């Protein structure tokens, strides 16, 4: 979503009122508004809301059939609902409007500066909601394989290994191949992954035990045992102290 231009639906049963709003919006900036559709009644507005990607609805209250309050009430269950600004000749519904999470309530005739303030409130509301949704969404890694894309939750990743030009992403049930960089994961998710080797990161939460490990090259080597998988993950001598420190903290 381009936050500097709000994709807008104007809903009002009076053509003159819709035209005035469209004219006022042309002079708005920071943010501006792009009118992508108009509706003269609630049912028509609901059709647009079901099919168009919208940031903002400028919504009249009193209309034949489905009124603006009903339109706004139906939007409350949608996580991607546009911001709602009521535009009406009646101030009596302001309390109801804000109970329906409207970001502003404008009375006619609408002044340009009040409309600009409403757009700013709508932009702020959308930014804050998007930030909250991003925080609530589980962190994932996008795996693309043979034209198919799959999002694997990072909470399921037990280790990542760098092999040739690719990463092996290991979960309890599968191994995925990813075109990526260990350094990127280490820098982005230090709370989640621990560097144990120049070519491996392990999930801190999955570490079960550190044990001696003979890989055929180094009989004095060490490896980590992780939850849910049988294969050990080798620990380099350089990273051994850091691994032991993490294990000590976990006790």
Q: What are the start and end residues of each CATH 3.40.50.2300 domain in the chain?
A: 5-136
Q: How far apart are CA 218 and CA 147, in angstroms?
A: 40
- Predicted local confidence at residue 136, as pLDDT: 77
Report if pTM > 0.95. no
Residue pLDDT, tens place only, 49-70: 999 999 999 999 999 999 999 9
- Predicted local confidence at residue 200, as pLDDT: 97
- Predicted local confidence at residue 147, as pLDDT: 78
Q: How far apart are CA 158 and CA 212, in angstroms?
A: 20
Architecture category of domain 140-250 in CATH: Beta Barrel (2.40)
Nearest C-alpha neighbor of 76 from the set 84, 64, 65: 84
Q: Per-residue pLDDT tens, the chain, 251 aa: give them.
A: 445 799 999 999 999 999 999 999 999 998 999 999 999 999 999 999 999 999 999 999 999 999 999 999 999 888 889 999 999 988 887 788 888 889 999 999 999 999 999 999 999 999 999 888 877 778 899 998 877 889 999 999 999 999 888 999 999 999 999 988 999 999 988 899 999 999 999 999 999 999 998 877 666 799 999 999 999 999 999 999 999 998 888 76
**CATH 3.40.50.2300 describes domain 5-136:** yes
Residue pLDDT, tens place only, 185-235: 999 888 999 999 999 999 999 999 999 988 776 667 999 999 999 999 999
Q: How far apart are CA 9 and CA 47, in angstroms?
A: 11
Q: How far apart are CA 228 and CA 226, in angstroms?
A: 7
Residue with tokens 């350094």, as numbered in its chain: 183
Q: What are the start and end residues of each CATH 2.40.50.1020 domain in the chain?
A: 140-250
What are the tokens at 67? 């009124």
């Amino acid at each position: 979503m381009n936050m500097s231009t709000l994709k807008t639906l104007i809903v009002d049963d009076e053509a003159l009122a819709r035209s005035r709003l469209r004219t006022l919006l042309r002079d708005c900036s920071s943010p501006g508004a792009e009118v992508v559709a108009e509706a003269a009644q609630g049912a028509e507005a609901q059709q647009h809301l079901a099919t168009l990607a919208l940031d903002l609805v400028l919504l009249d209250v009193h209309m034949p059939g489905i009124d603006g309050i009903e339109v706004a009430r139906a939007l409350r269950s949608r996580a991607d609902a546009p911001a709602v600004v009521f535009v009406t000749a009646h101030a009596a519904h302001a309390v109801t409007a804000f109970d329906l999470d409207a970001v502003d309530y404008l009375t006619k005739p609408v002044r340009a500066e009040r409309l600009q303030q409403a757009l700013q409130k709508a932009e702020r509301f959308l930014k804050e909601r998007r930030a909250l949704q991003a925080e609530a969404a589980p962190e994932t890694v996008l795996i693309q394989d043979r034209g198919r894309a799959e999002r694997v939750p990072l909470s399921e990743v037990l280790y990542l290994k760098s092999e040739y030009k690719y990463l092996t992403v290991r979960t309890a049930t599968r191994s995925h191949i990813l075109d990526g960089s260990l350094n990127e994961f280490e820098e982005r998710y230090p709370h989640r992954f621990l560097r144990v080797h120049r070519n491996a990161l392990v999930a801190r939460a999955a570490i079960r035990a550190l044990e001696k490990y003979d890989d055929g090259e180094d009989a004095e080597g060490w490896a980590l045992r992780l939850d849910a998988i049988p294969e050990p993950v080798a620990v380099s001598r350089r990273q051994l102290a850091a691994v032991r420190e993490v294990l000590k903290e976990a006790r």
